[in-house]
Structure 1
Amino acid sequence: MDNPHVNITFKTAHSDFYLKEELSNFETDLSLITDEYIINNTLDNIAISVDNLVLVSNKQISSFHLNDLENYTLLVTEKGCSYREQMEKILFKNNITPMQKLEFIGIESLKLHIKKFGGIALLPEFVVTQELKNNELFLVPLDYQFTTLKTNLLYNSSTKKNSVFSFIEDVFSLER
């Protein structure tokens, strides 16, 4: 590896507060955070992507309304995941209770389940691009504008590790 002194941890955080705290305390060098709003006044922030959320199923559905979620099994990622939080906001705001809700630790296991057994899930479009192209999953036709999520790279510019900055430039092809 070209940057042996950069500490990277890949984990799902149930709150970006903890990730920001680890960055501020120099316990972690870099964090990728995906959320509707990335608010931070003390850390440096580089925008990586803006992701559209889409509702998908393993079957083509000709017509669909939000209230129809009550008749489906809803597949969700674990608590704290920004995709799930968006779906829970929609359900709460519209007083909708799905017929059944299944929780998955990871997106890949959720995608395997939905392809084989069905259900509906709200996921970032880039995560299901291949499945949509191969007709393994289908967009659920819904006249609803989902929130876009932003993925940002956060780091603490007060770090004494120059390797962090070269890592950002090398791996993300970004300059600070």
Structure 2
Amino acid sequence: MKSNLITRGGHDKLVAELKNLWHEERPEITRKVNWAASLGDRSENADYQYNKQILRKIDRRVRYLGKRLEELRIIDFSPEQAGKVYFGAWVDIENDEGESKTIRIVGVDEIYDHHPQHISIDSPMSRALLGKQVDDEAEVMTPSGKKIWYINAIRYDPSENPVDSNH
């Protein structure tokens, strides 16, 4: 099952995408479809066929985003998380082979932009890292067997969080 967690930044991107699709791209493609339809025979009209296909694709994405945004739960950083790996954390890790990575644990909906450092909260790596601290080791089962990763640093991006005037 897909988790419904998302960072505030990820949520903002999806909202912006929905707004852009609905207010910019869809009206533009609708104009093109209407123009192409006014030219007559739609069955042999490549402009009409092509733009109609794009319109269907946009409508599918708009429907998906509309439903998905209602299901998502924004997770903001809280001070209690400091020093441990939780959702939204940036984590610097390395293994015995000298391989090192910086990754960020995010919701499945934030993987769509193929950010090379984003990994899903549902991934085996995330599950192994959650709750760990600097200098802990995380055991991850991979297709090629068990791998041990060492946690070198954990940080959270303060720009991802709303300003809390009470603290």
Relative to the length of structure 2, the TM-score reads 0.24
Compare relative contact order (CA 8 Å, sep 6+) and give the higher one, 1 or 2. Answer: 1
Q: Give the structure with the larger helix fraction.
A: 2
Structure showing greater radius of gyration is 2
